[in-house]
Structure 1
Amino acid sequence: MIEIVETGPFNTVQDLGRPGYRDIGVSAGGAMDPFAVRIGNILVGNDEDAAAIEVQTFPFKLRFDRHTVFAVTGADGQPVLDGRELLAWCTHVAEAGQVLELKQPQTLARAYIAVGGGLDVPVLMGSRSTALRGGFGGNAGRPLINGDRIEIGSTLDELPLPVNGIAVVEPAVALGDVFPAPIDGALPVRAIAAGEQELFVSDGEAFWSQVWRISSRSDRTGYRLSGEPIKPTKTIEMRSHGVVPGVIQVPPGGEPIIQMSDANTAGGYPKIAGVIECDLWRLGQARVGSRLRFVRSTHAEARAVEQAVARYVEDVQRTSQMVKRALRAMA
């Protein structure tokens, strides 16, 4: 079991979400940076979709009540265990009574804590994720608060770890040739033109050419962008249609909204573009106030990025399995 010692608003239990229920108005939800959750779970020996803690308000502290393997992934910054700084993106062992602290990251937005066995909260619609708008899932359907106690699932194959744990090169570094660095402080986000882009004509080009800023009116449902408004050439009446994370809609005010993890299940605003799925985790790590620029992409490029990510995940899995086999042979 773990006990929440110190937390801020909006820190929640998340996994990879509950797809398949949008037809009844339930968004898929899940972690804003699913890449970090997948890697954290592999490091501690869980299935990739095991539940973890998503931390987006800092500082955050929890206390372990027993011997526990854990890893902290996602946001940049060093976790601290009983005053001792640890490596992120690496497995560690905590003993009963020890306190893990996450301080404010340097530049990124969200950190994830994965524990061996996963967080044992109820499964609803195939997921342990917290749905804040619906008030269900996760830890009683709400953000974590001081004093919360959360059970940890059992581990079937716990082995002693190497002295320095099992570490990986974080995705932003390992895949630096796949995920381009910010240009003049603006994060490049690849997107594919959507069905209603032709409605915007010259303003459509302004969408691609200008630098946008993530507004303070942003949350897990959607990022509202601040910039020079873009307007369609004519007002048309549109029927509400299904939307998914990554869809970029333009409301009447002209400032786009990017649908994020808790995306609305339907909407009637015109769609100008859609962020490629493998770039969504980068948006999940972008703070309010961050600057970004959209880059035209293609389905072929999106597929190539997806394949590069898959190779990286497979490499992490192979490395983890090799270490386990070596430890098992030594036991």
Structure 2
Amino acid sequence: MSISILKTGPLATIQDLGRYDGAQWGVPLAGVMDIPASLIGNLLVGNSPELATLEITLGGFSARFECDTVIALTGAVAPATLDKQPIGCWRNVPVRAGQKLKIDFAPAGARIYLSVSGGVDVPMVLGARATDLAGHFGGLNGRALKAGDVVPLGQLTGPAPDAQVRAPERGDVLRVLPATEWSAFSPAAQQALLTEPWRVTPDANRMGANLAGPVLELGQPLDLSSHAVQPGVLQVPPSGHPILLLPDAQTTGGYPKIAQVIRADLWRTGQFRPGDTMRFVEVTLEQALAALAEQRRWLAQLENQLKWRV
């Protein structure tokens, strides 16, 4: 049971929920950049949430299925066909052996998830199947997928009922909490972060996104030792242009941190593409926790609606 890769587009990797226990050893989180999209994709095809999917950046992907299965496309909504017949996103679709899937480039959003019944069956490395591109491990031989690859699949879960989910809206706002060095930045820098638009530059990948906007200056010189960082942190290097850290980011850094994207909004960071503009809004810790609880309730409701068994 497998998928034969015909074309990958800019980047396609095998990802799951990531390596949450590796930071103490300097191992990045990795994993999918849009967790709700991956979770819902797995639900749509009858998988447990931790199973691996294919993360496809922007689109331009095609593959042939070597077995009967069920698939779902979630994340960025892209035109897609199965044997040249249009199929929808955010729903499950039965597939027959020999059929070819083509995913065109998404008009908006950055990452598309291809979930397949049984999940992508590659070896676990350090507790996950996620591809760590910098470390060259996980996924398929620790690298991005390429044409000619054969991706193994797990056992088909069973026949799925027709199901569809409404795609959540990304919007352009990311809610943030002040980070450790917030007070070290000048009042003008604090105001600029929260009032000015920030554009994702072409210098963006799974490690982080450089943002273009006003220069954020410290109120006074600050010399920091390397310290722990995590996805969602906004680091500010000497240039004054912030860097938004993403799942493949290093686990330590020495730049001052001005803000942290709240956990409920981390999925949105994975759907911004170069040229997109984002805005930051400060919230309280209580509001951040309430947003996370609301997101978890929404996902639990979907799970109850979509859960099916053989």
Contact conserved, 2:58 with 2:112, CA < 8 A, in 1?
Answer: no
- Show CA shifts across 1:115-139 (max 9, x none): 0000011100110000000011001
The residue identity in structure 2 corresponding to 1:42 is L
Q: How does 1:9-48 map to 2 (within 5 A)?
A: 9-48=10-49
**Structure with more of its chain in helix, by fraction:** 1
Distance, in Å, in 1 between the alignment partners of 2:40 and 2:79 is: 17
Distance apart, 1:278 and its partner CA: 1.4
| Match of residue 201 from structure 1 | 186
1:18, 1:127 within 8 Å by CA — same for their partners in 2? yes
Aligned partners of 1:37 and 1:49 also within 8 Å:
no
Deviations 1:237-292 (A, max 9, x none): 11110001111111000000111111210011111110001111111001111111
Deviation digits for residues 102-152 of structure 1 (CA, Å, limit 9, x no counterpart)? 111111111000000000111001100000000110011111100100111
Residue number in structure 2 paired with 1:106: 107
**Structure with greater strand percent:** 2
The residue identity in structure 2 corresponding to 1:248 is L
Instruction: Give the distance between the partners of 2:7 and 2:192, measured in 1 at CA.
Output: 44
1 CA distance for matches of 2:272 and 2:11? Answer: 16
Q: Hey, what does 2:173 align to over in structure 1?
A: 188
Contact conserved, 2:59 with 2:112, CA < 8 A, in 1?
no
Gaps of 5+ in 2: none
Q: 1:126-275 residue pairs with structure 2 within 5 A?
A: 126-155=127-156, 157-159=157-159, 161-162=160-161, 165-172=162-169, 181=171, 187-202=172-187, 203-275=189-261
Q: Which amino acid aligns with 1:191?
A: V
CA contact under 8 A between 1:166 and 1:320: conserved in structure 2?
yes
Shift of 1:57: 4.2
Contact in 2 for aligned 1:11/1:57 (Cα 8 Å): no
Could you tell me how far apart the structure 2 residues matched to 1:311 and 1:80 are?
A: 33
SS at match of 2:296: helix
Q: Secondary structure at the match of 1:220?
A: coil
- Residue type of the alignment partner of 1:35: P
Deviation at 1:223, TM superposition (A): 1.0
Report the more deviating stretch, 58-67 or 195-204.
195-204
1:300 pairs with 264, 270, 286, which one? 286
1:71 counterpart residue number: 72
Q: 1:171-230: CA deviations, max 9, x gaps?
A: 32xxxxxx7x4xxxxx11100111111111222211211111111111111111111111
Letter in 1 for 2:97: A
TM-score by length of 1: 0.90
Equivalenced residue count is: 308
* RMSD over aligned Cα atoms: 1.3
Aligned sequence identity (%): 39
Unaligned runs of 5+ in 1: 173-178, 182-186
What TM-score, normalized by structure 2, do the two folds share?
Answer: 0.96
